[in-house]
Amino acid sequence: MATATRSSQIILAGPGDWDEWMIVIKTQATTNGIWEYIDPEKAPQDVAKLLDPKKPSINAVNESAEISRYSILQKDYAYDRERYRESKKALDDLSK
């Protein structure tokens, strides 16, 4: 039987502990929005990859009206980057 040393930490002592451990892992991963990156029921090539967002380039816009669009892209990037960092940290924490 698995030994719970913390509410979210399971020590696998044998095959019978797999289900309990998987429930804890899936709950943590789902809560942190990272299950799609580790779902073991998917084939490896179908598991989503956590990708660092691409920073927009000012060179991508060429008219003054586009400058406001660039500003929006910068804000979107900042949001995506923060979400990426949160997901990466959650993945790192899950593997500890």
Q: What region, left, alpha or beta, does residue 33 occupy, with left being phi > 0 and alpha being psi -120 to 50 degrees?
A: left
Q: Is 15 helix (H, G, I), strand (E, B) or coil?
A: helix
Residue 86 pLDDT? 94
- 3-49, pLDDT tens digit by residue? 443 455 677 888 888 888 889 899 999 999 999 999 999 999 999 99
CB-neighbour burial class of residue 43 (10 A; exposed 0-12, middle 13-18, buried 19+): exposed
Domain ranges across the chain: 1-31, 45-96
- pLDDT level of residue 65 (50, 70, 90 thresholds): low
Residue 36 pLDDT? 94
